[in-house]
Amino acid sequence: MSDEVATEDDRLLLARAQDGDMSAFEALVEAHQDKVYGLALRMTRSEADAAEITQDTFLSAYQHLKDFRGDAAFGSWVHRIAANHALMRLRHRRVAQAAEAELQGPEFTARGTLADYPLQDWSRDAEEKALDAELGHAIRQAADRLPEGYREVFLLKDVDGLSYEQIAEVTGDSIPAIKSRLHRARLALREAIDAFYNRDSRGL
């Protein structure tokens, strides 16, 4: 099914759901719950939290169904709701831990560049070699080591495709701050790719 057909189906189901047709809303849930769960899982890295966030997301969507005017696609709307719930869950988790513990990650200078930026140009090798499962694992590990704020914007922008405006709406941060964190996150991932190919070239 094309995105255009899926979006049109969502519009028809949404109109019926807003008129009180519960089966139409259940069809919308069925169509979008996997993507919502996937986003929540990537952000929280907890299956239990992701399941609860998915339930909370569609409960919130149902409660505010009549307020939704269709300015965006239904899928984008519930995506933003899910991201909001995931961010709230992460913030509550930090409060419960009694301190905001910053995850171990790459060190940045005051100007926002990597303290130990790789000198070798990895981009040509990266274009010439296929990203295999081992490289994907290295990138995921690097993403997991990012400070939480950097990981959030990386997931929302580069993995889930939200716009800067949507991320700003979700996080409450300014677009310049989001762009800055995303830039730093990408630099860290470049370092992970560089390390992978350096190791690969040495036959390790």
Gap between the Cα atoms of 81 and 104, Å rounded: 28
Task: Say if pTM beats, i.e. exceeds, 0.85.
Answer: no
Domain with CATH 1.10.1740.10 in the chain: 3-96
Measured distance CA(16)–CA(53) in Å, rounded: 25
- Is pLDDT of 1 > 90? no
What does the mean pLDDT of the chain come to?
77
Look at residue 127 in the predicted model and tell me its pLDDT: 46
User: Mean pLDDT, to the nearest integer, of 145-163?
Assistant: 81
Fold of 3-96: Rna Polymerase Sigma Factor; Chain: A (1.10.1740)
CATH architecture of 123-201: Orthogonal Bundle (1.10)
Residue range(s) occupied by CATH 1.10.10.10 in the chain: 123-201
What does the pLDDT read at residue 192? 76
Beta bridge partner(s), residue 114: 108
| Residues paired with 108 in a beta bridge | 114
For 166, what's the count of Cα atoms within 13 Å in the CB-facing half-sphere? 21
Higher pLDDT residue, 39 or 162?
39
